[in-house]
Amino acid sequence: MPLSFLTADRAFDAADAALPYDDHDHWRRPYRPGPWRVGVAAVLLLLSSFILFATVVTALAAGGSGAVVCAVVSVVVIAVALRMLRMGTWVSRHGVRRVGLLRTSTVAWEQAAAVRTVQQPVRWLGLPRTVQGQALVLERHRGERVALLTTHSADFLSSGDAFDRAADTVEAWGAEYGRAR
């Protein structure tokens, strides 16, 4: 008895097909978080568990101020890990939203001139080093270009097929809702 919901080898179209009750007004990420992003968040959450353990030990042994500092550091580490999992490109009927670690920006579909994939130097894992790769670029009517997705980000590093599917999905949202209004 195959249990397709427990395996990773099911068809992509069957897993990500739009359901009739899906609401296109809600923000959704058209791809799954990548292994690098999930791995770093898991390590941060593991580090936070050790810090919380240190908080308990400090509170029982020494007293209040050290335990408060440890608790605050742990809460900050947990918040960073959860925000890292939330980072990425989100789409809805209203526009496209780029969620970063410290900042979120939203562009309405009316302000977008084009959404297309281009070959250009991209940042490797968000670091200052650039490598040649592909990027899904949103071009505004004012001439600005915003890179929404890149092949060397934490979501798509060493996974070109996932980047192609995500880029096609965001381009389809832009084609559908960009000209609809």
Alpha helices, DSSP H, located in the chain: 12-16, 35-61, 64-86, 160-178
DSSP type of residue 180:
T
CA atoms within 13 A on the CB side of 50: 5
Is the pTM value of this prediction over 0.75? yes
pLDDT above 80 for 48: yes
Mean pLDDT, all residues of the chain = 85
Give Cβ neighbours of residue 106 (< 8 Å, ≥ 6 apart): 94, 95, 96, 97, 98
99-127 residue pLDDT tens: 999 999 999 999 988 899 999 899 888 78
Rounded-to-integer distance, Cα 52 and Cα 73, Å: 9
Query: Residue 51: what pLDDT?
Result: 96
Question: What tens digit of pLDDT does each residue of 58-88 get?
Answer: 999 987 888 999 999 999 999 999 999 999 9
pLDDT for res 168: 92
Q: Which of 12-16, 151-155, 164-168 has the lowest mean pLDDT?
A: 12-16
pLDDT at 177: 85
